[in-house]
Amino acid sequence: MQRKQLMRLGMSLLAVSLASCGGTPTQDSGSTTKSESDVSSSTSSTETIDSKYASYKKLEDFDKGANTFKDAAGNDQILSRRILEENGGTPCLTPLGEQRILVVPLGLEDDDTISPANPSIVASGRTAAQTEERLNQIEKIFFGKAEETGWQSVKSYYETSSFGKCTVTGTVMRSNGGWYRPGKKPKDYDSSQALRDIQSFYTTEYAKENHGALGADAHEWKWFDQDGDGYIDTIWIVYSAPIHAYETSASGNNYWAYVSRTSNRPNKSNPNPMCYAWASIDFMDEGSGYAPGTDGHTFIHETGHIFGIDDYYNYDDTSSPLGGVDMQDHNIGDQNAFSKWQYAWLAPYVVDDNAYIEMEPTTTSGQAVIIPSPDFNGTCYDEYFLLEFMAPVGLCEKDYKEGYQSTTGYTKPGLRITHVDARAYKNKPTEILDTPEKVATATQMRVLNTPSGRGYANWRDTFDNPETNTSRSMYMINIMQASGFTKEKNLLNSKGNSGNSDLFTKGFSFDLTPYYDAVLGEEFNDYYYLMPSYSNLWNKAQNPATREVDPNCTIDFTVTVLDVNKSKIKFVVEKI
């Protein structure tokens, strides 16, 4: 929804406010709120815009966020999500350079037993589907050229999304030229057993003359432990059974698509499986309008988890924090800039002063801006507002224009503003890691986009605000909707998909500065509905140990969008 007091003459400001904890916001005489006439005149021509803000800093004048930290010897090391996973004892695939994965087409046996939760499924192993054609499709889904698929392969997607910083290579394992068939039925099998069988089969066959059923060209098992840490970097299992082939209850998810880690110990002479993915061949056929076996979306999404990134949808199905439009949300388009920062594929500009900014689409340029919270530690593992220029181009073009399954992307360009709280910790959620070096010791995230918590992030954090008498869940990343939301219906309290109306374009506003609401009879702002604090306070305003709230930890910047088209956006960041 649009701010009521700014809907004057159909023109308004786009504002994001940000500030410092424990201090009084600094007033800048050159950053007063602009009237409609100011905005109108400022957007009359590029020359007028440029001259009006000639004294402001440009994008290149700002430092970028940190992608490195200093080790004990004083050397720079890459700070990516891999570090946190490794510290936690569950190392994932490194998201940089050439990475090898082992893809296993798992052929299961037909089972006449009816699945208790899915009685319509018969012959659940689907031996008839274990064809050479399917093997070739699996090869193309993982390692093929984009044009050999309905959209992108895992390899082509991550090469493009990473701006060439990551290449996924590897092998599709064949047994005597065909599917790997351990002789098991779906009801008697699961991914853990499959991993043990695959390791035993591979190492046994490789030791035979000409590497047995693997073939003479097979790589040694250790070849898939590229970093030499004693774990196979990734095993991707694509099973022949249908989705939910054999579940004992309606909530069962054994025959689904997921990524998990084992409890294995490292073994450098005979590396053990650690990070693995598991999905049905049915996911290759999911997309409407795709030829059979050409849809790579699910395999791309799950590979995002293999690199360490979390899901951005809410497992509780009670909200849609990011609104679905992201590869790690509803399997659509590109990875967002927050994810790419965690992968060390980009580093956004840290804008903490008055600035006139021109930016190209984030998906193709890698350009993004953050406005940091007080005592910012310099890394992606902190609290900030993230500004991305969204447009239906590059990896986003097909999905945004045509949609994917139930989600349609942004068909028009605009600024997406998200509130990120990605603070991490080493031992206790109450810890404060205030330097890149301290962040590099972290093992876990404080919160995810599922408020009830799941897995390693099982500590639910809320912002308990005594001033508003509210206790609201914190989220890792949530969109600040530009319009169309109400107190009763917004993406933080109901399920839904983000759309064009959630992007900020010329004439729309976002402002966290409180104003007098005559209906409520108090100072308020509609965007408080989208803030955990239910106010203009950072999440950091609440001390994680004592739960005390600092009322001075407010947001004291504005962002004004001046112009936008498909290829460029212009906006101004100003201190209040």
Per-residue pLDDT of the chain (576 residues; tens, 9 = 90+): 333 333 322 233 344 444 446 433 333 333 333 333 333 333 444 556 678 899 999 999 999 999 999 999 999 999 999 999 999 999 999 999 999 999 999 999 998 777 777 777 777 889 999 999 999 999 999 999 999 999 999 999 999 999 999 999 999 999 999 999 999 999 889 999 999 999 999 999 999 999 999 999 999 999 999 999 999 999 999 999 999 888 777 777 789 999 999 999 999 999 999 999 999 999 999 998 888 899 999 999 999 999 999 999 999 889 999 999 999 999 999 999 999 999 999 999 999 999 999 999 999 999 999 999 999 999 999 999 999 999 999 999 999 999 999 899 999 999 999 999 999 999 998 999 999 999 999 999 999 998 765 444 445 689 999 999 999 999 999 999 998 899 999 999 999 999 999 999 997 777 888 888 788 788 888 999 999 999 999 999 999 889 999 999 999 988 889 999 999 999 999 888
* 422 lies in some domain: yes
Same domain flag for 387 and 421: yes
Same domain flag for 411 and 470: yes
- Is 452:462 a contact under the CB 8 Å cutoff? no
* 321 lies in some domain: no
- The pLDDT assigned to 12 comes to 35
Q: Which has the closest alpha carbon to 171: 206, 126, 129?
A: 206
DSSP 503-514: SB-TT-----S-
Number of domains composing the chain: 2
Can you tell me whether residue 231 is helix, strand or coil?
strand
* 385 lies in some domain: yes
How far is the CA of 446 from the CAs of 69, 138, 139, 299, 311, in angstroms? Answer: 21, 37, 38, 27, 14
CA 234 to CA 273: how far, in whole Å?
7
- Is 338:422 a contact under the CB 8 Å cutoff? yes
- Is 266:304 a contact under the CB 8 Å cutoff? no
Residues in the chain: 576
pTM of the model: 0.91
CA 183 to CA 531: how far, in whole Å?
53
CA 303 to CA 122: how far, in whole Å?
30
* 74 lies in some domain: no
* 430 lies in some domain: yes
- The pLDDT assigned to 456 comes to 46
Task: Give residue for tokens 């073994």.
Answer: 267
- Is 180:201 a contact under the CB 8 Å cutoff? yes
- The pLDDT assigned to 25 comes to 30
* 315 lies in some domain: no
- The pLDDT assigned to 514 comes to 85
CA 432 to CA 74: how far, in whole Å?
22
Same domain flag for 303 and 343: no
Q: Tokens in use for 30?
A: 């050159």
538-541 contacts: CB < 8 A, separation 24 or more? 538/18, 538/19, 538/21, 538/373, 538/374, 538/383, 539/373, 539/383, 539/421, 539/463, 539/474, 540/21, 540/373, 540/374, 540/375, 540/383, 541/21
Domain closes at, from 253, 274, 308: 308
Same domain flag for 9 and 152: no
Q: Tokens in use for 525?
A: 């702002």
The continuous run of DSSP H or E covering 236 comes out as strand 235-239
Bridge-based pairing of strands 166-172 and 97-106 is: parallel
In the chain, the amino acid numbered 476 is: M
Same domain flag for 116 and 229: yes
- The pLDDT assigned to 33 comes to 31
Can you tell me whether residue 541 is helix, strand or coil?
helix
CB-based contacts of 177: which residues, under 8 Å, 6+ apart?
215
Same domain flag for 483 and 366: yes
* 282 lies in some domain: yes
Same domain flag for 345 and 432: yes
Running DSSP on this structure, what letter comes out for residue 27?
P
Same domain flag for 445 and 541: yes
- The pLDDT assigned to 49 comes to 66
Same domain flag for 303 and 154: yes
* 359 lies in some domain: yes
Same domain flag for 258 and 361: no
> Domain residues for 478?
4-69+331-515+524-575
Q: Which has the closest alpha carbon to 245: 119, 128, 124?
A: 124
Alpha helices in 114-237 (DSSP H): 132-143, 154-161, 191-206
